[in-house]
Chains A and B, each alone.
Chain A
Amino acid sequence: MTHFLLRHRDIPDINQLDVFRKNGGFEAFQKAVKGMKPEEITEIVKASGLRGRGGAGFPTGLKWSFIDQKNWPHYVVANADESEPGTFKDREIMESNPFQLLEGIAICSYAVGAKDAYIYLRGEFWQVAAFLDEKIKELEKAGLLGDKLFGTEYCLRIHTHLGAGAYICGEETALLESMEGKRGQPRLRPPFPPSYGLYGKPTIVNNVETLTNVPLIISKGADWYKSLGTDDSAGVKLFSLSGRVNKPGNYELPFGTTFRKLIYEEGGGIIDDRPVKAIMAAGASSCVIRVDETILDTPMDYASCRAIGADLGSASVIVIDDTVSIEKVISKTVEFFKHESCGKCTPCREGNYWMMHLIKRIEAGEDVEANIDLLSSVAKQMRNKCLCALGEFATMAVVTGIENFPEDFTAENIGGGHE
């Protein structure tokens, strides 16, 4: 299959500007700035059916159309805070196909009238940020970023900004707080960033993968894009496959590809040919789905995943085989969210704290059944009570893991020392 996002896998050295340009790079941006009205671009992106790739799946063009035209300046922020356990797709784009992302940011900026755009990278991506800084300089030298682009009045600068290790900054309002030099804690919404964003100004925050789709949509058209994928989920998607598979990695596939194809054809099957026991389709913040043949044949798109009680999210598929106890799985997710809760909302801060302690008690064999009931009860009480989704995410694996795999939560099996 031809890659549209991971183009470096087909075209060597596409991270070099001359190679990228030889392959059509920055033609879409030039076409946009020289010959299209900003709202025309937004309409094309709307018509393409592109939805946000960061997890929420919100229609991208619709988000752009919400930008408040009465309040200026406008900003664009690329969310490169990729921190969900199981997700590692944006990093590959930035490392290997950086110009396509930068062109996507540029087109988005033109569409919403932003003259400054930022890429907020998680602090761990220190090397990636330095690499992007070089690429941005090359674009400025080549006259593709900077003042009076292509002989028009349009000016654009792109800057990188490093976070410093906080999962919560992937949530867009926490990210904006962090960019403003504050602790990364979510804001009360509404207002949403397109009306009140960075420095209180209208801001579009989009995920790296989302923006990387944009140059293709502008050059090849909305209909072409819609022809890929399914009715509900247009286009291609990067699936980050990890866990107990032979070939973990990123796979670019059309929406609607089945779990079976991803795991067995692309991912080379399960280590030691063990059976798949469970799948988490959206990283650590997703449901633990008990796998049977029907589940394996489920198409991976937003609607079909919802129909089996899962969420596709950022499409970070973690595969768990029968050597692993689900109790261990939720122990890991709880530890993660306990560490990453920002502390602003009480149900999330205290709930995660207690879930971690309950898991420890359960693992120590203390009154296992009662503590498992209490754990479920704490998790359920955290839901719908927090400013952002972290409070929900933290409970997903706990509630569904216990419900779908009761056999892994009996006193006997936990006492039996599952590894």
Chain B
Amino acid sequence: MSLIEKYPQEIEDILAKYPPDQKRSAVMPLLYLAQREGGYTTLEAMKEIGKMLDISVTDVASLVGFYTLFHDKKEGKYRMQICTDLSCALRGADQFLETMCEKLDIEPGETTEDGLITIEEVKCLAGCDKAPLFQVQGEDGIEYHENMTVDKTMELIDSLRKDSKKVKK
């Protein structure tokens, strides 16, 4: 189903934010909308967005490539994006990342076998006083988890696992 068929009202609201002759500004909000389907944008969605905004699919794809929160490949249902930048590293973020990878038996950038979690190492999340921290990017948006420990994170993963099983049933 196309985006416009699925989200007519939301698309109208997004376009209304910008001057009528500047609808290209809606490209990023529309890409977020497209990512609700599986957490990444398909070529079809990019084509549809391009058509809607009168820009080429190449332009749309170039944004997906440029911005780190847009993805063109399916990964885990939840992307656990751990900040290991300087301030966080000074508070143990590198060790946190390493331990989480060991616990889940994956490397940064990889996805757990059940397709639930992808661990990604990311740049500063503006939460330097609450390290270790990460955000979880899912289909419905982004959520912060701060002052985390490995145990608390494993609990979170368990609850995400349970939730996603419920949805499947």
Contacts and interface: CB of A to CB of B under 8 A. Distances in A.
Contacts of A164: 28, 31-32, 63, 67-70
Q: Which of A165, A241, A318, A333 has the most CB of B within 10 A?
A: A165
Contacts of A324: 90
Nearest to B28: A164
Nearest to B66: A183
A83 B17 contact: no
Interface in A237-264: 240-244, 248-250
A328 B87 CA distance: 12
B86 A284 contact: yes
Interface stretch (A85-93, A360-368, A388-396, A403-411): A85-93
Contacts of A86: 86-87, 124, 128
Interface in A46-77: none
Interface residues of B, number: 42
Interface stretch (A3-11, A100-108, A122-130, A215-223): A122-130
Contacts of B129: 88, 240-242, 248-250
Contacts of B57: none
A90 B53 CA distance: 32
Interface in B62-105: 62-63, 66-70, 85-87, 89-91
B141 interface: yes
B20 to A, nearest CB: 12
Contacts of A147: none
Interface string A2-30: 00000000000000000000000000000
Given A88-B126, A248-B129, A318-B86, A183 B63 contact: yes
A127 B144 contact: yes
A199 B142 CA distance: 29
Q: Which of B53, B59, B85, B141 has the most CB of A within 10 A?
A: B85
A45 interface: no
B26 A181 contact: yes
B158 interface: no
B32 A162 contact: yes
A332 interface: yes
Given A85-B124, A124-B125, A183-B66, A243 B142 contact: no
Nearest to B19: A199
Contact of A127 (B19, B124, B142): B142
Contacts of A196: none
Interface residues of A, number: 54
Contacts of B124: 83-87, 167, 284, 336
Contacts of B144: 124, 127
B67 A163 contact: yes
Nearest to A159: B17
Contacts of B17: 159, 161
B86 A85 contact: yes
Nearest to B53: A181
A82 interface: yes
A162 B123 contact: no
Interface of A: 82-88, 90-91, 122-127, 130, 159, 161-167, 178-184, 199, 240-244, 248-250, 280, 284, 316, 318, 320, 324, 328-329, 332-333, 336, 339-340, 342
Given A85-B123, A163-B67, 20 more contacts: A82-B126, A83-B126, A87-B128, A123-B142, A125-B126, A161-B28, A164-B63, A164-B68, A166-B67, A179-B25, A181-B26, A181-B27, A182-B24, A184-B66, A241-B129, A243-B91, A244-B91, A328-B89, A339-B123, A342-B66
12 contacts: A88-B128, A123-B142, A124-B126, A162-B28, A163-B28, A164-B70, A165-B69, A180-B24, A181-B24, A181-B55, A332-B85, A336-B85
Interface of B: 17, 19, 22, 24-29, 31-32, 53, 55, 59, 62-63, 66-70, 85-87, 89-91, 122-131, 135, 141-144
